Structure 1
Amino acid sequence: MYAIGSLGTGGYATLPGLVLTYFLTDNLGVAALAAGLIVTAAKIWDVLIDPLIGAASDRQLARTGSRRGFMVTGALALPLFFALTFAVPPSWGPVTGAVSVLLAFLATATAFSLFQVPYVALPAELTGNYDERTRLLGWRVVVLTAAILLFGAGGPALRNAGSDPVLGYLLMGIASGLAIGIGMLIAARTADIAARRNAHTSGAPIVSSTWRDQYMSGFRALGRSQPFRALLGTFVLQALATGTMLAGAQYVATWVLRSEDAVTLVFVALVGPALLTTPAWTALARRTGKERAFAIASGLFTAAAATLVIAVWTPGAWIYASVAVAGIAYAGLQSLPMAMLPDVISHDERTSGPGQAGTFTGIWTAGETVGFALGATAVSLTLATTGYISTVAGATVEQPAAAITGIVLSFSILPAALMAASLLTLRRYRLRREDIDAVASLDA
């Protein structure tokens, strides 16, 4: 039941990252730089509200014994705002269209954060066992990768189902928003399971009532937990790397592989191997430790992304093979850090007390948002710098060679360099299995 929430996580993370910038530049005629700024502005809003939601979720847990209220609110609100994001017609003009998309996407982001921040906090409260957390998050990633495949392939397919791209985007927004909301609503029930397991947190003192106190609680968590700083830094760099590839995928399909529909095959190549290999990463983590398995996955992704630069000179179907290798690594990049985060939280509880998981996950979700937002920004800046030509739906243009090169670089060398940098921050993560087992034995 917990894992089904990743149907919402995968859908929300995949479709906007995959098609929103493209929707703005190639359907509404918004300039590439402006499109990137719109996506970034919405993500900055996420960064501002996520720590507040995390601290508020901790207060809700202390007051009611459950984090479910925020999760249900987000699940019910998201479908409407998600559909509105893609409901803007080109006839409104680039300026009005851009403003409308921005407002709808801000509301969508708020609804998603209301669900996601408490959702990420739950594993630390559902089980205290080192390996059980890996299995729990492993199943979540199986659903997540399946959702990425469903939305990454199915979303563009819905968009292209008819001859009218305006109705196609609207259909995609409505259907995808409903699917995301249903998954989130089902997963919200696991908050009550966590509440029963941690009944002692209900009735705890309610603190951090002001905005300033809520932000400061997050900074205090960063300051006192060295493992959290190392893991968060690694995760943000990797979110930036994968966000860059995600935002560039549609452009690679259209202008490198010369088929707008090829984005579906790119996603199948990425997510198919990830779906199949998640259990293998779980087994490797059990044998070697999560941090070592995480480093192996990061190195493999770095190598696979770097090979894609060859597409500057010889584009072709071989790109799918490199993407598939990245997909094998991607399964580990998704499951392992999420399984390490509950370890960090439980380790901190040893000195700071329970009931603060939302504070950690608020900062974590904000960091992830920063990474994905800057990924889209990096792609839009690359497009603007290399002379990418924006257009409206139905119009035909030919991109300059420099723009094609920029698209390939943003899909290969840039994410590879960011992923390599994340290996340096990962080296500073010092929690090991014996540290978590020691905490669990004290709780027993």
Structure 2
Amino acid sequence: MERGKPRKEESLKNNGEVKLPLKTKMFYGVGDIGNAIINSAIQFYLLKFYTDTALILPVLAGNALLIGKIWDAINDPLFGWLTDKTDSKLGRRRVFMLWGAIPLGISIMLLWFIPKGLSTTTTFIWIALTFILFDTFWTLTNVPYYALTSELTDDYDERSSLTTTRMVMAVPAYLIGVALTPLLAGLFSDERKGWAYVGIIYGLICAAVLLISAAGIRERKKVMQTKAKTNVWQSVKIALSNKPFQRLCIAYFVINLSFAMVKTLMAYYLEYQLLMKSEISLVMGLMLICVTLSLPFWKKLSERLDKGKTYALGTGIGAIAISLSFFLTPDQGKLVYILSALAGIGFGSQWIFPWAMVADVADYDRVESGEFRSGMYYGIWGLATKISEALAIAGIGWMLTGFGYVPNVAQSSRSLLGIRLFFGPIPGIIIIITLPLLIWYPIDRKKHAEIREKLAAMESQLGENL
């Protein structure tokens, strides 16, 4: 192949950047199917499984999950740094996906299995340990997987396209997790047995699709041949001092925390406030269908408005929609379908742009350091994602206990007030407060083009010195 000439399956965009082949995008996207299914099951049903099936107090279940996040404070940046330093014929990222897929599947199986006859204390310990085990293998496989967003392509818009392709596969899988999980668990008269089968099925799916993805994609040689030179603590310090990354992380952390509160409380809100228990899957499904359908729209709009502004617009729409849910009464329950659709359309932007924007931040860092440190950035990003979601689950557990929630019975007016507040206006207002961080985000298309020019000059200089 001639030097500088794209491979046969690649094509050039108008700006001269290499466009990723659809095959690469498809194989990359497949890897997130299992993650989406298990994440939706965890976010929507794990706390309810613990409180209503295992019959552990919400505050204890929330605290058990939060304990796992102490280990997260170490493993996310550590594993990100480790993949940056890895030198393997299988690639810096793919090797972890290949070897970690099966252990991840086993840990998922254990997450949804609680032995009968355990005391409250032993159940608490079991939940904490199985969640730590799952989180360890999830981090080991998914930090390198997400870091590939930055390294499969350097193009500003192609990264959005790559992420959109991934999400077009992931969101329907997420929807399947929302709709299928309670149906699978409900197939058995023994609820514990039903949830155990949920874990077995989802564990097998997650391991299989991760292996397929890793087998179908290839890392670029210029990325594989570079290794980070700084130690883990220096890498963490450099990443956290990156101004655009700081701004993006704060905005994403707050928005993801708020959205996780909504997802965690949706089943409670529909069952106890609107008395629509039989329609939980329908409402959740509608929201996620609207997320899926909105993805191409948000991707196209970002080509005009840039990623930050488009991200802000979408999440603003979603925030308004969920805030209005506070005012719905049981006789107005059908209106929740309209709000769910609007929220899905708005929050579609949350599924694309944060992940693509981290890749641009890694380029910004590479201009300063000359190193590919995508693993570290996505490691810290994974930490922000998981801590925000764990805080949401734990916070909802504390809230439910504080407002007097009692499982499987009609709720008091005080308990319903807590559910309505933390499902609607509180996360909605918090999201709106963060939007200026995205509207005036510093790495827009013009800034990224300048970064790419500097990187091209650096690579050219390096080539001349070899």
Normalising to structure 1: TM-score of the pair?
Answer: 0.91
The structure that has the greater radius of gyration is 2
In structure 2, the residue matched to 1:211 is none
Match among 213, 221, 228 for residue 239 of structure 2? 221
Q: Say if 2:322 is the partner of 1:305.
A: yes
What residue number does 1:433 align with?
Answer: 445
Alignment of 1:202-281 (within 5 A): 204=227, 206-208=229-231, 214-223=232-241, 225-281=242-298
8 A contact 1:230–1:428 mirrored in 2: no
Does the residue aligned with 1:29 lie in a helix, a strand or coil? coil
Query: Separation in 2 of the partners of 1:240 and 1:317?
Result: 27
Are 1:382 and 2:399 counterparts?
yes
Q: Within the alignment, does 1:181 sit opposite 2:207 as a pair?
A: yes
Moved more, 356-365 or 40-49: 40-49
Q: Which sections of structure 1, spanning at least 5 residues, go unmatched?
A: 209-213, 391-395
* More displaced stretch, 247-256 vs 88-97: 88-97
Q: 1:230 to 1:181 in 2, by over 3 A?
A: same
Compared CA separation, residues 354 and 205, structure 1 to 2 (3 A):
closer
Contact 1:88/1:97, CA 8 A, preserved across alignment: yes
Q: Is the 8 A contact 1:10 1:145 kept in 2?
A: yes
Q: Please name the residue that 2:356 is paired with.
A: 339
Please tell me whether residue 129 in structure 1 is matched to residue 155 in structure 2. Answer: yes
Counterpart residue identity of residue 236, structure 2: G
Letter in 1 for 2:419: I
2:409 is matched by which residue type in structure 1? V
Structure-2 residue corresponding to 1:146: 172
Provide structure 2 residue ranges, at least 5 long, that are not aligned to the other structure: 1-26, 457-466
Q: Which residue of 2 aligns with 1:295?
A: 312
Cα distance, 1:418 vs. partner?
2.1
CA contact (8 A) 1:378 1:410 kept: no
Cα distance change of structure 1 residues 87 and 364 upon mapping to structure 2, 3 Å threshold: same
Give 3-state SS (helix, strand or coil) of 2:406's partner: coil
**Is 1:112–2:129 an aligned residue pair?**
no
Tell me whether 48-57 or 413-422 shows the greater mean CA deviation. 413-422
Task: Supply the distance in 2 between the matched residues of 1:235 and 1:170 (Cα, whole angstroms).
Answer: 33
* Aligned-residue offset at 1:196: 3.1
| Counterpart pick for 1:408 among 420, 442, 455 | 420
- Alignment-mate amino acid for residue 313 of structure 2: I
Distance 2:87 2:318 in 1: 38
Instruction: Give me the TM-score of the superposition, normalised by structure 2.
Output: 0.87
- 115, 119, 122: which one pairs with 1:96? 122
3-state DSSP of counterpart to 1:92: coil
Question: 2:328 is paired with a residue of what secondary structure?
Answer: helix
1:353 CA displacement:
1.1
Deviations 1:403-437 (A, max 9, x none): 12211222111210221122133245211111212
Residue 108 of structure 1: CA displacement? 0.6
Aligned 8 A contact 2:96 2:140 in 1:
yes
State the SS of the aligned residue for 1:154.
Answer: helix
C-alpha spacing 1:54/1:93, structure 2 compared with 1 (3 Å): same
Distance apart, 1:138 and its partner CA = 0.8
State the match for 2:366 in structure 1.
349
Q: Indicate conservation of the 8 Å contact 2:309/2:440, yes or no.
A: no
User: Aligned partner of 1:108: which letter?
Assistant: F
Aligned partners of 2:352, 2:334: CA distance in 1, in Å? 29
Letter in 2 for 1:425: L
Contact 2:228 2:373 in 1 (8 A): no
AA partner of residue 280 (structure 1) = F
For residues 36 and 389 of structure 2, what CA distance do their matches in structure 1 show? 13
Cα 1:314–1:357 change in 2 (3 A) is same
Q: Where does residue 378 of structure 2 map in the other structure?
A: 361
In structure 2, how many angstroms separate the alpha carbons of the residues matched to 1:149 and 1:13? 10
User: For residue 198 of structure 1, what is the aligned residue in structure 2?
Assistant: 223
Q: 2:432 aligns with which of 420, 426, 432?
A: 420
Distance 1:97 1:174 in 2: 20
Give yes or no for the alignment of 1:398 onto 2:410. yes
Residue of 102, 117, 132 corresponding to 1:76: 102
Contact 2:97 2:210 in 1 (8 A): yes
User: C-alpha separation between the residues in 1 aligned to 2:339 and 2:33?
Assistant: 26
Task: Find the counterpart in structure 2 of residue 321 from structure 1.
Answer: 338
Relative CO higher for 1 or 2, CA cutoff 8 Å, sep ≥ 6?
1
**What displacement does 1:51 show?**
0.6
| Cα distance change of structure 1 residues 205 and 403 upon mapping to structure 2, 3 Å threshold | closer
1:115, CA displacement in angstroms?
A: 1.1
What is the deviation of 1:387? 0.4
CA drift at 1:43: 2.9
Alignment of 1:24-103 (within 5 A): 24-61=50-87, 65-103=91-129
How far residue 205 of structure 1 moved from its aligned partner, in angstroms, is 6.2
The letter of the residue matching 2:345 is: I
| More displaced 10-residue stretch of structure 1: 311-320 or 66-75 | 311-320
User: What is the deviation of 1:259?
Assistant: 4.7
CA distance in 2, matches of 1:288, 1:10: 28
Q: Using the alignment, how far apart are the partners of 1:122 and 1:423 within structure 2?
A: 27
How many aligned positions are there?
430
Amino acid at match of 2:71: W
CA distance 1:199–1:172, shift in 2 (3 Å): closer
Q: How many angstroms apart in 2 are the aligned matches of 1:278 and 1:410?
A: 27
Q: In structure 2, how many angstroms separate the alpha carbons of the residues matched to 1:215 and 1:421?
A: 32
1:247-276 alpha-carbon deviations (Å, 9 max, x no partner)? 112212332243544331232121010111
RMSD over aligned Cα atoms: 2.0
Secondary structure of 2:404 counterpart? coil
Structure 1 runs (4+) deviating above 6 angstroms are: none
Tell me which moved more, 84-93 or 409-418.
84-93
